[in-house]
Amino acid sequence: MAARVLSAVKGGAIAAPVPVRRALVSVFDKTGVLDLCRKLASQGVEILSTGGTAKSLREAGVAVTDVSDVTDFPEILDGRVKTLHPAIHGPLLAVRGNEAHEGDLKSHKLGAPIDVVVTNLYPFEKAAAGAEQPDSPEAASEVIENIDIGGPTMLRAAAKNHAGVAVLSSPEQYDAFLADVRSNDGSTSAGMRRSLAAQAFALSARYDAAVAQWMTRLASDDAAAAEADGAAPLPGAPVRPVVFRSYVHHSNLKYGNNPHQGNAGVFALAKGTAGDAALPFEVLNGSPGYINLLDALNSWQLVRELREGLGQAAAASFKHVSPAGAALGVPLSDQLAAAYDASAIAKRVPGGALTPAALAYLRARNADPLCSFGDFVALSDVVDEATALIIKPEVSDGIIAPGYEPEALKILSAKKKGGFIVLQADPDAELPADEWRELHGVALRQRRNTFVYTPESLGKPETSSPEVSEAVRRDLTLAATTVKYTQSNSVGFAAGGQMIGIGAGQQSRVDCVKLAARKAQTWWMRQHHKVLELPFKAGTKRQTRVNARVQFIEGTITEAEHAAWLKSFDEEPAPISAEEREAWLAALAEEQVCLASDAFFPFRDGIDAASTIGTKFVTQPGGSIGDAAVIEAAEEYGMAMLFHGMRSFHH
């Protein structure tokens, strides 16, 4: 049944080409319309037009028939009524091949069918946005005059009757339309008409949605003002805001979160009634997946805010929508350089110099290299050749950055046999004020979290000691920004310009601290001389060395694992003794460890857990009924605690 409906509508065969003999042209935006009408007129097409459009065409030498001559009725009401007439809508809606419709046109002398409609709509959104005093009666009156009536009516009539009518609703369609007419010997194809109709209905829907939302806001403001004045409720049903959002398909995805979740795709939010839509990034290489894009968009916001808040190159290594590491382009100590294999890495870089972007990436990747395996990378700065050469051997899915040097792009595009995902973020993209999420048919809305942490935003210490230096404020800012984009509950430890341990997504905040502290201890133990001197066999793969070091540090290898673990070494390494471990971990306190939490600490247990790795600086929103006990605990451990007052849950 559906197939028959698609192939014929009350006697009008959609599949048949339709000769273009008569066109109705009435546009607000006159871009390209003169050239279009000249080409139509040169093929003997009769042009009907209205008002200013007819005048401009006639002045340019295009023969035009005024709509008022067709309707035998003048334009009235300051142009509010021009095309709303049977002599226009009859020829627009008549089904080709339908004897009754053709008889009506003839008996009522309505003229021949109209084959093409060229129209676009009054700029309602521009008028609404540009009103100097949008809530004044005068401004509202001006905006209302930009609510198009005749345009949408012609648009919808022509689109409904696309079995015989082609409707052009944007100058961007003109060239493709003319090419279709040329290739069909002066006729329009069924595919072109249906495509144009779909675009026309989409425009009409977006236009009506914009008007509806504006009117709803005015009505809501009226109701709120009446309530504030103590007046009786306004008559009629309460205003229930209705929100319309329009997305334009960009590309398909292989699948969603999991392989069995199909119908996955990427859509860009349409801007305005014109339907302009652009993603805030460009795909330069590879094919991103669903989770890739979640990681990319979150990590890009993180590094962009670090750059904004601290003025330094920043990098992040993301896995499953949380950072495994984040860092700034701060030079490495000799000890860290050894732990990160920086000397070997520098040999791959022309000149051996690591740029700030390269340093930021090296630190971010090495914060937790076990978890960074198969990560998505984000850089705040243009990716240079040095950074690309460091990324090249790592197991990673992709990268997002504001730009790439030509050689860097070449290196990254060749990674993973050409499948490495390279996204170029638009740093100037205007992001929507609100964020939306749909779950099980329920839509949730919230204002986007636009707060940017800076050293100044952290406030003053609530405790008496120790002194908070500029370097500490930098690291606290880094940690606070990082946990803002970490799945909540979350905390993060930072030291020396990088994250050293992140605890994400735990139901208990103290468990977040314990998890992050364990990761920070592992990071520190990786710098122990026995770890650096592990006797790996020549040719042992990088990730195998990473995994083996963590197993060596944690000392929890099972008997079966131990046999496999030994295969990576020329000889069995001497273990780190309990005394050596304790002495080394005690020195972590000298690194001025900083802790940030995405929400307040409800109890002192989080501070107790943080003290186990010598934490000396803490920043958190505060605001708990347990603040006094938490501050007291910080005082006991000699920690400086700063309340910045801004919770940053992230889900």
Q: Which residues are known catalytic residues?
A: 160, 320
What does the alpha-carbon distance between residue 412 and residue 416 come to, in Å, rounded to a whole number? 9
- Tell me the residue ranges of DSSP E strands in 52-173: 65-66, 116-119, 166-168
Enter the tokens of residue 635: 């005082």
Beta partners for residue 442, in sequence order:
439
Provide the greatest CA pair distance for the chain.
105
> Are the CB atoms for 479 and 328 separated by under 8 Å?
no
> Are the CB atoms for 597 and 606 separated by under 8 Å?
yes
> Are the CB atoms for 292 and 258 separated by under 8 Å?
no
Beta partners for residue 102, in sequence order:
none
Enter the tokens of residue 180: 């279709």
Torsion, CA 478, CA 483, CA 486, CA 491, rounded to 10: 120
Residue 242's identity, in one-letter code, is V
Torsion, CA 400, CA 402, CA 407, CA 411, rounded to 10: 0
Torsion, CA 39, CA 27, CA 127, CA 148, rounded to 10: -150
Contacts of 400 (CB under 8 A, 6+ apart): 281, 296, 297, 299, 300, 376, 377, 378, 379, 423, 424, 425
Count CA within 13 A, CB hemisphere, residue 14: 18
Residue reference for tokens 């404020």? 473
What does the alpha-carbon distance between residue 563 and residue 438 come to, in Å, rounded to a whole number? 49
Among 596, 162, 493, 529, residue whose Cα is nearest residue 334? 529
CB atoms closer than 10 angstroms to residue 467: 7
Among 178, 169, 14, 33, residue whose Cα is nearest residue 97? 14
What does the alpha-carbon distance between residue 139 and residue 131 come to, in Å, rounded to a whole number? 6
What does the alpha-carbon distance between residue 549 and residue 370 come to, in Å, rounded to a whole number? 10
> Are the CB atoms for 457 and 435 separated by under 8 Å?
no
342-345 contacts at long range (C-beta below 8 A, 24 or more positions apart): 345/390
498-501 contacts at long range (C-beta below 8 A, 24 or more positions apart): 498/325, 498/326, 498/327, 498/328, 498/330, 498/363, 498/364, 498/367, 499/323, 499/325, 499/326, 499/327, 499/364, 499/367, 500/367, 500/524, 500/593, 501/367, 501/368
- Tell me the residue ranges of DSSP E strands in 159-263: 166-168, 187-188, 247-252
